[in-house]
Amino acid sequence: MSEKDQVLAILARKIHGDVAGRTIERLIKVGEATDEQLSQALGIEIGTIRRVLNELYESRLVKYRRVRDEEQGWYLYYWRLTDEYPTRVLEERRRRALEVLKRRLEFEKNNSFFYCSSCGTRFSFDEVADNMFRCLYCGSDLEALDGSLITEKLEKAIKLLENIKFE
């Protein structure tokens, strides 16, 4: 298995789940297959295979070759792996992760937090203000939490992601 193919299989499984991972691995093995062939080889219902193939296609992890069946008059789709390195997929993941981290950072900066040392739960100001700053789960007194460490970590992660370029 080439490095590119390995990356594709890992991405497929992470993003679209186990069936997607197995589908990609099958395509790596046989090169090209129809949805029916994949369904039979993997022992997975054809509807599921089709849904997964569409998801993989949208992520640009697979592509297809369409062949008209002259006798039946319909089209057969032969699926295979994409030839491109999955930069677009990675770029999209990067952008999404960056958004989540930035939103989280914003939230951390605009809120103060409280910590329960008895049960280890963290609460925001709004969550515990009505509860007289006692833990919502065990009723213990809460400590105010210094958020600078989390903020620092988030800022570091954001910087890291901002400097990666896939495209």
- Applying CB under 5 A, what is the total number of residues that bind Zn ion? 7
Question: At 48, is the secondary structure helix, strand, or coil?
Answer: helix
Q: Which tokens sit at 61?
A: 């992890």
Applying CB under 5 A, does 6 fall inside the site for Zn ion?
no
For the CA atoms of 50, 51, 54, 60, the dihedral, rounded to the nearest 10 degrees, stands at -110
Minimum Å gap between C-beta 108 and Zn ion is 21
Beta carbons within 10 angstroms of residue 122's beta carbon: 13
CA 57 – CA 82 distance, rounded (Å): 9
The tokens of 43 are what? 């022992």
| Min dist. Cβ of residue 117 to Zn ion (A) | 8
Which of residues 79 and 113 has its CB atom nearest to Zn ion in the complex?
113
Instruction: Closer to Zn ion by CB, 6 or 140: give it.
Output: 140
* Pairwise CA distance, residues 71 & 133, whole Å: 74
Judged by CB under 5 A, the residue of 20, 24, 61, 135 near Zn ion is: 135
Residue number with CB closer to Zn ion (132 or 165): 132
Q: Is 142 in the site for Zn ion (CB under 5 A)?
A: no
Contact between 27 and Zn ion (CB under 5 A)? no
Residue 128 binds Zn ion (CB under 5 A): no
Q: List the Cα angle 15/16/17 in 5-degree steps.
A: 105
* Contact flag: residue 118 with Zn ion (CB under 5 A): yes
| 116 near Zn ion, judged by CB under 5 A | yes
Asked if 112 contacts 147 with a C-beta cutoff of 8 angstroms, the reply is yes
Contact status: 154 vs Zn ion (CB under 5 A): no
Closest to Zn ion by CB, 79 vs 114, is 114
Residues that bind Zn ion (CB under 5 A): 116, 118-119, 135, 137-138, 140
